[in-house]
Chain A
Amino acid sequence: MAANVGIVGIGHTIFGNSSEYDLSDVLAYAATDALQDAGYLEKRKEIDQLVVGNMASGLFCHQSAVASSVISRMDMEPVPAELVENGPASGASAVKIGYMAVASGLADVVLVVAGEVMRKVTGWLATDYVATMLHTEAEYNMGLTLPAFGGMFTRMYMEKYGLTERDLALLAVKNHDNGAKNKYAHIQLPCTIEAIADGPEADVVNTYVAEPLRMYSTCPVSDGAAALLLVNMDSPRAQEFKKKPVRIAGVASATDTHCVHNRKDPLKLEAVRIAAEKAYKMAGLSPKDISFAELHDAFSILELAISEEVGFFERGKSFLAVRNGETEINGRLPINTSGGLKSKGHPVGGTGVSQVVELVRQLRGEAEEGRQVKEPKYGMSVNFGGFGNNIVSVICARD
């Protein structure tokens, strides 16, 4: 029987511009935070495994073998260390691999850290590097980018379900409101619906990125890292930590076609649905049990589409719930309590771990005033790789 896996330490850098720092230092900073949080800094050489998540250090930083580098910066030799890459879902994949190491009995204590430093290069180059995750001949070569796919997906959804640009702006207002209170967020500023949708200057403030997606419906380019310390809750070593573990109740992933145009219905995110169903099954839960969620809103439309695929709302109805305030902090089902990728930021390879850090902060009751969910029991995250072709979902529980 698989061991119960808990999270006993969390770490997080302030997302934003860390381009003056080395990627390994950014990762090591978050990882050291996690060790301090767990009270395990002095025992770091007793850790059984380091798993690093990163999408494209070779492109963004001209740097390889990042896991080995992090080990040395943290004086952790001879702890084993490996790198996990799964595009923008590298972080959650690193959590999954760390979970598998503990659940299988191969390791009792695993340090997971994931991050990206994207702002050493220009925005044009960053857009190009991120686009390399697309199908080379059938998508990338055409000039397509991730925002372009976000725009085309949004248009399909609008034409089918009646979503408006104002609905997308409401999501930005909600997520910026949460992010403004999050000490780790890239953009710690609220925004108003007047400024980005209703007012006379809205078209200037909130310009198009990939029509009908506007700037406030698109995440920023961020640097940063986040970390978790995992432990076998059934092992005597589970007693060595300062904090009570938050249990990983479910973790699962699924894939879909690389080319978006090859999906039977390009509006359906099958990999999201399958990953979520597997995670619910593993946790013995259903969508109704989830207290709050972190969903991968690299483009605001994805918060809506993912929330439908994981069963929170009927297909094509999620934006009505947003209009009713159901996904706000004090709503029926708070979504993106951290500010989401829109406000907290999106250092591509690091986002999946950052989402789980937010689950732990909320479940511990450690979120800042004004964005703490009331007595949450189960938190769920969905980390989106490619344009929906490799998805990882994690469910954490406060026992």
Chain B
Amino acid sequence: MIDFSVYNATAPTIQGYKCQNCGSIHYPAPMICSKCSKRRDPVTGKGWETFDLEGPCELLTWTRAWNLPEGYSRKYLLFGIVQFENGLRASGQLEVENPESGMKLVAEVEESDERPGDPVSIFVFREK
């Protein structure tokens, strides 16, 4: 049997936002540029560029959380905050054997259906 749904499948992404007025970059999506106050219309997106936020980053801090919320069947999850080479920062899940603040990682985007509601795109930070 052919699974036609695969033809519509797209890789999950998380977007960064660039203000074309002043060139500053943002994550997550702002409604107003924090540098030049240019408004972003989420419907038209006019005056703003988007780009895939992923790739090399540095781990700033991390935790292993044991008391996970409803929906998560794992014993624990590792979380971290990272800084990308372009200066943007993000929070997400961490899949590293022995995490250490300052280590170089790569941010990848995956789909997760553990939280209530529709599946969502999440960051997973891994070793290069």
A and B co-occur in one complex: yes
B63 contacts across to A, CB distance below 8 A: 148, 151-152, 154-155, 210-213
CB contacts (< 8 Å) of B115 on chain A: these are 140-141, 143
State how many angstroms separate the Cβ of B78 from the closest Cβ of chain A. 9
A124–B122 touching, CB < 8 Å: no
Interface check B72, CB cutoff 8 A: yes
User: For chain A, what secondary structure do more than half of its interface residues adopt (helix, strand, loop), or is it mixed?
Assistant: helix
- Beta-carbon contact of A209 and B67 below 8 Å: yes
* Interface residues in B, total, Cβ within 8 A: 34
A128 touches B116 (CB 8 A): yes
Taking a contact as CB atoms closer than 8 A, the residue among A128, A142, A152, A266 that contacts B70 in the complex is A128
| Secondary structure class of chain B's binding surface, majority of residues | strand
The yes or no answer to A399 lying at the interface (CB within 8 A) is no
Residues in B61-104 with C-beta less than 8 Å from chain A = 61-72, 77, 79-81, 89-93, 101
A108-166 residues with Cβ-Cβ distance < 8 A to B are 122-125, 127-128, 131, 135, 137-145, 147-148, 151-156, 159
Closest to B74 in A: A143
Given A142-B122, A143-B79, A152-B80, are A261 and B91 neighbors across the interface (CB < 8 Å)? yes
By the criterion CB–CB under 8 Å, are A145 and B28 in contact? no
Interface residue count for A (Cβ, 8 Å)? 38
Query: Of the candidates A128, A142, A159, which one forms a contact with B91 in the assembled complex, judged by CB atoms under 8 Å apart?
Result: A142
> Once the chains are docked, how many angstroms separate the CA of A398 from the CA of B93?
49
Q: Is A259 an interface residue (CB 8 A)?
A: yes
Which residues, 199 to 242 on A, are CB-close (under 8 Å) to B? 207-213
Residues of A within 8 A of B81 (CB): 152, 260-261, 266
B22 contacts the other chain (Cβ, under 8 Å)? no
Contact with A along B110-125 (1 / 0, CB 8 A): 0010111000111100
